């Protein structure tokens, strides 16, 4: 389980700087405020715009004067928004605009704009009479913005212009200086990754009824394994840093994931006993699973708080002792409709595919397996037949191919067929694919013609 206190402290630390820093559009890289797309609710929208409220000075915008204003002089500042508009939350008033530098602060008056649904505002700025009260080119203006409505599809930009006359300021023409920058935007804050994958290996030497306990991708024990689950690190794997909620609070998992929902796993659940565990070691059962009719999905019987809790998909084969099928698994957070791939159950074998195997009495078919490795390689065989045909493994369906040798297996020793006299087979051999080659040779007993087929060997 995630430590909520540590997570909260970490997130708070990440956002302290952004929560206390205004947007300076003069910087080479403007520190645009990013709002999380996934944290938006219907209540946050008006006319398609996202309503955002500052929780500090996140939306305050800083820009150089860019043009000197001598003492005892009046100039006009125009603020123009694009892909955004003011709202009653904005709080735009005469006191919203300030400038740092002059000894005596200039007189600033909001002349027009800044109202709800408006996109512009015009201020009159009059410097005091003393020389030290002039505004220098590099002096910074700050526009305090307590809230905005911003586009969900394009960055909200603010353009500052300075004007010599009120007429040009109102008309937005003849600017003495212009500066623009993106001050806020809506962006995806999630990676889509909620799961951690684990691969477990079933052993050919144990007829695939047990897992390996050493080597590559072992099980937890001979009878217990996991294919992964909802990650312990979901807070870091799923949630990107640097985004805010519409209330300008750091985005948390609970803002983007349903804290109480079912978790559904998909795969092959026809063997063993499957359960959800709180740890990847598959200790105590934390979540009972309900299988569907075809045993292809397993869903938690109750809901899970995925913002804090892990759910690992585990299988125990100690009681049923069934053949462990290989295959891949996935996990879905049902309410959030997020699906991730999990790991797989694999065999520690190389597969030899035999697309056509026949026991027809006018043919004599053999399978030849060449083991180029120095070690003996155990094998097992499985069959897949047409409807109406039953395949029963023969005495040669399991065995061992000695090292540096060739093993010849008659089809009639490999399988007994009822119904039709043909089937397909897969031989799983405990060796690397580079050490194994295989062929079938079929002899037509009536004319002694032969047909030799190189088989596909894969791992």
Mean pLDDT to the nearest integer, 138-147: 97
Mean pLDDT to the nearest integer, 348-376: 94
| Per-residue H/E/C for 437-451 | EEEEEEEECCCCCEE
Tell me the average pLDDT of the chain.
92
What is the predicted pLDDT for the residue at 297?
A: 98
Residue 255 has pLDDT above 60, yes or no: yes
Residue 451, beta-bridge partner list? 442
Residue 261 DSSP label: B
What is the predicted pLDDT for the residue at 10?
A: 36
Percent of the chain with pLDDT over 70: 95
Q: How far apart are the first and last CA of the chain?
A: 36
Q: Give the Å distances, CA to CA, from 194 to 138, 231, 253, 263, 393.
A: 48, 6, 11, 11, 43
Question: Helices H, strands E: what count in the chain?
Answer: 5, 36
What is the predicted pLDDT for the residue at 14?
A: 38
Residue 140 has pLDDT above 80, yes or no: yes
DSSP 38-101: GG--GGGEETTEEEEE-SSSTT-EEEE--S-B-TT-EEEEEEEEESEE--TTT--SGGGEEESS
Confidence of residue 329 (pLDDT cuts 50, 70, 90): very high
For residue 172, count other CB atoms closer than 10 A to its CB: 14
For residue 260, count other CB atoms closer than 10 A to its CB: 12
Rounded Cα–Cα distance for residues 125 and 103 (Å) = 15
pTM of the model: 0.69
Residue entry with tokens 């597969």:
351
Domain ranges of the chain: 4-187, 195-347, 350-458
Confidence of residue 191 (pLDDT cuts 50, 70, 90): confident
Protein fold of 350-458: Hypothetical Protein Tm1070; Chain: A (2.60.290)
pLDDT (tens digit, 9 = 90+) per residue, 387-436? 999 999 999 999 999 999 999 999 999 999 999 999 999 999 988 888 99
Q: Is the distance from CB of 99 to CB of 141 less than 8 angstroms?
A: yes
Residue 160 has pLDDT above 80, yes or no: yes
Q: Is the distance from CB of 260 to CB of 243 less than 8 angstroms?
A: no
Residue 15 has pLDDT above 80, yes or no: no
Q: Is the distance from CB of 428 to CB of 417 less than 8 angstroms?
A: no
Mean pLDDT to the nearest integer, 260-282: 96
For residue 456, count other CB atoms closer than 10 A to its CB: 11
Q: Is the distance from CB of 394 to CB of 415 less than 8 angstroms?
A: yes
């Amino acid at each position: 389980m995630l430590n909520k206190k540590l997570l909260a402290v970490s997130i708070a630390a990440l956002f302290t700087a952004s929560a206390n820093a205004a947007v300076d559009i003069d910087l080479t890289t403007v520190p645009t405020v990013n709002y999380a797309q996934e944290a938006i609710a219907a209540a946050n929208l008006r006319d398609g715009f996202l309503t955002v409220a500052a929780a500090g000075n996140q939306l305050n915008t800083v820009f150089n004067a860019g043009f000197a204003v001598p003492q005892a002089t009046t100039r006009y500042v125009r603020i123009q928004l694009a892909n955004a508009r003011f709202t009653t939350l904005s709080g735009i008033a005469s006191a919203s605009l300030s400038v740092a530098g002059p000894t005596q602060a200039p007189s600033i008056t909001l002349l027009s704009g800044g109202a709800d649904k408006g996109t512009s505002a015009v201020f009159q700025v009059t410097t005091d009479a003393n020389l030290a009260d002039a505004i220098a080119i590099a002096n910074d203006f700050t526009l305090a913005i307590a809230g905005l409505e911003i586009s969900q599809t394009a960055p909200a930009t603010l353009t500052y212009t300075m004007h010599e006359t009120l007429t040009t300021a109102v008309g937005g023409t003849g600017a003495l200086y212009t500066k623009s920058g993106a001050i806020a935007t809506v962006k995806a804050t999630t990676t889509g990754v909620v799961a951690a994958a684990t691969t477990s290996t079933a052993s050919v030497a144990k007829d695939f009824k047990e897992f390996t306990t050493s080597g590559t991708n072992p099980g937890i024990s001979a009878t217990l394994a996991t294919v992964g689950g909802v990650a312990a690190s979901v807070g870091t794997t799923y949630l990107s840093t640097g985004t805010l909620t519409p209330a300008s609070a750091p985005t948390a998992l609970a803002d983007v994931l349903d804290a109480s929902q079912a978790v559904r796993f998909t795969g092959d659940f026809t063997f063993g006993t499957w359960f959800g565990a709180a740890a990847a070691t598959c200790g105590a059962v934390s979540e009972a699973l309900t299988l569907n009719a075809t045993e292809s999905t397993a869903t938690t019987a109750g809901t899970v708080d995925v913002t804090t809790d892990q759910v690992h998909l585990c299988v125990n084969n100690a009681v049923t002792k069934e053949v462990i099928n290989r295959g891949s698994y996935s996990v879905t957070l049902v309410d959030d409709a997020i699906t991730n791939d999990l790991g797989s159950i694999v065999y520690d074998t190389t597969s030899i595919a035999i697309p056509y195997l026949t026991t027809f009495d006018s043919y004599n078919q053999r399978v030849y397996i060449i083991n180029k490795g120095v070690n003996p390689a155990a094998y097992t065989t499985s069959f897949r037949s047409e409807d109406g045909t039953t395949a029963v493994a023969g005495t040669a369906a399991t065995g061992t191919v000695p090292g540096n040798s060739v093993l010849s297996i008659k089809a009639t020793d490999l399988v007994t067929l009822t119904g039709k006299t043909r089937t397909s087979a897969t031989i799983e051999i405990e060796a690397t694919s580079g050490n194994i080659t295989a062929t079938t040779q079929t002899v037509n007993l009536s004319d002694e013609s032969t047909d030799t087929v190189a088989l596909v060997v894969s791992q």
